[in-house]
Chains A and B, each alone.
Chain A
Amino acid sequence: QKEVEQNSGPLSVPEGAIASLNCTYSDRGSQSFFWYRQYSGKSPELIMFIYSNGDKEDGRFTAQLNKASQYVSLLIRDSQPSDSATYLCAAPEGGKLIFGQGTELSVKP
């Protein structure tokens, strides 16, 4: 089974800064990745997915995939306190998703 690794954090950034969340994976054949955000006491919410090498931008969020390095990241520009949450990276395997342990992000006002 493929593995998805994330630094559990917590990652603390000041308001307005860029938050960088990283994820590495074991399977070179992985073609797509998903980023979920989970607020404390809530369920995971899909915020981004990326299928190809390079960058994908959606508002303040940018997902970056580097297949050669088996590395995927999520950048959050102009971080807000409302971005404080746990961010989960996931890769598909067969019909299911393999989730990382999640990185806790704290944005300080």
Chain B
Amino acid sequence: DAGVIQSPRHEVTEMGQEVTLRCKPISGHDYLFWYRQTMMRGLELLIYFNNNVPIDDSGMPEDRFSAKMPNASFSTLKIQPSEPRDSAVYFCASSFSRDEQYFGPGTRLTVT
């Protein structure tokens, strides 16, 4: 199995630009999670989906963030407009059960 795939691995953009992060979960997994990790705040859950339906988006920081899962094999996290404080590593994870999550390699986002 290829594991969770994320793209891009690194993204550098200017403040105000739109950023789209992509994730392909492990085939057969029915849960997908988006996390953000920073030194100050640690690992934060932003949103998670079950069977392509958003279940809990209480961690999404504000309206600038949006996430979609149009099918079982693809999800996006979009930030529009981006701000320097959005700089972080964004992880996607998937699971078959609700508990054992497997993480992708992450996208390191830098907003200048």
Number of A-B residue pairs, CB cutoff 8 Å, is 42
Binds A, one of B17-25, B78-86, B100-108: B100-108
Instruction: Check A96–B56 contact: CB distance below 8 A.
Output: yes
Instruction: Check B103–A45 contact: CB distance below 8 A.
Output: yes
Please encode chain B, from 29 to 43, with 1 for each CB lying within 8 Å of some chain A CB and 0 for all others.
Answer: 001010000000011
Total chain A interface residues with beta-carbon distance under 8 A: 17
Instruction: Check B33–A96 contact: CB distance below 8 A.
Output: yes
Binds B, one of A53-61, A68-76, A97-105: A97-105
Instruction: Check B56–A49 contact: CB distance below 8 A.
Output: no
Please encode chain B, from 70 to 112, with 1 for each CB lying within 8 Å of some chain A CB and 0 for all others.
Answer: 0000000000000000000001000000111111111000000
Q: Chain B interface secondary structure, helix, strand, loop or mixed?
A: strand
B residues less than 8 Å from A45 (CB atoms): 103
User: Within the complex, what minimum Cβ distance (angstroms) separates B46 from chain A?
Assistant: 11
Complex alpha-carbon distance, A34 and B95, angstroms: 13
